[in-house]
Structure 1
């Protein structure tokens, strides 16, 4: 049973990684950039424990890209995120979004309590 679960986990990781690469994203670059800018608020694994900072791990890549572009343009307003996103290139946004989307999440839906 452990072998089957390990195989499924490896396959899932490969699929996520392949999808990110196919979209032109670099997961390692996203990880490096997140270490520089994101972890103090969103947590080292993208699963912030502070309620005021959203959990990014496991979010949809497209949603994260859209949100970062909106922060960068000023269409979405948050003093911290507007400053952080202002300097991001399109490629860095893709890399960060793909990286956070690839991480295991602790997100829950509204029918359950947050962990």
Structure 2
């Protein structure tokens, strides 16, 4: 695995795989070093109290929030509202994709 594949981007939505918050989504708000990132979701994990997580304990999604990424790069911080909005947007889009897939599968069975 190359360095870029195994390391998330700022503003990227990730799913937590290990620990008390397993199964939940969060956003990468800072890269600590080659093994750790800081995660926040704007709800239980606010921006000012992020969770330090080993990158091996999170699953990367392909969704990177441009609003969050831009805010972090321009000002060095992001509002909790923006974090919540980005996660909700990601969850809605992934559910919409699943529904489209289910409909396609249903049509195939009928034919």
Q: Do they superpose with TM above 0.5?
A: no
Using structure 1 for the length normalisation, give the TM-score. 0.27
Using structure 2 for the length normalisation, give the TM-score. 0.27
Q: Which has the higher strand share?
A: 2
Q: Which has the larger radius of gyration?
A: 2
